[in-house]
Amino acid sequence: MRIHCPLCGERDRREFYVKGAAMERPAGNAGLDDWHAYVHLRENPAGVLAELWYHEMGCGSWLSVTRDTATHEVLKVELASALGLGGAA
């Protein structure tokens, strides 16, 4: 699988670390149910899913990668920071 990093260009997926589903982090004062859902609950579709990927062996950017999990076709790649998604582990 190849991922087109917006800063580095097309790269092999082995240059990246995948964190999981790209989800918006709850506010600091959010309730336990919101934090439980953010930390523990994930969709696992056989289909289109947006995930956070870290370009570990490249520019060090967090990316939102939208791909089809059944075919591994990458549909869209965006900088996570541009979407307001935090990726830091």
Given the rule CB under 5 A, which residues bind Zn ion? 5, 7-8, 55, 58-59
Nearer to Zn ion by Cβ, of 8 and 48: the residue is: 8
SS3 60: coil
CA nearest to 6, candidates 72, 67, 55, 56:
55
Taking the complex as a whole, the smallest distance from the CB of residue 15 to Zn ion amounts, in Å, to 8
50 or 77: whose CB is closer to Zn ion? 77
Residue closer to Zn ion, measured from CB, 7 or 82? 7
CB of 10 vs Zn ion, minimal distance in Å: 10
Which residues are CB-neighbours of 16 under 8 A, at least 6 positions away? 3, 53, 54, 55, 56, 57, 58, 63
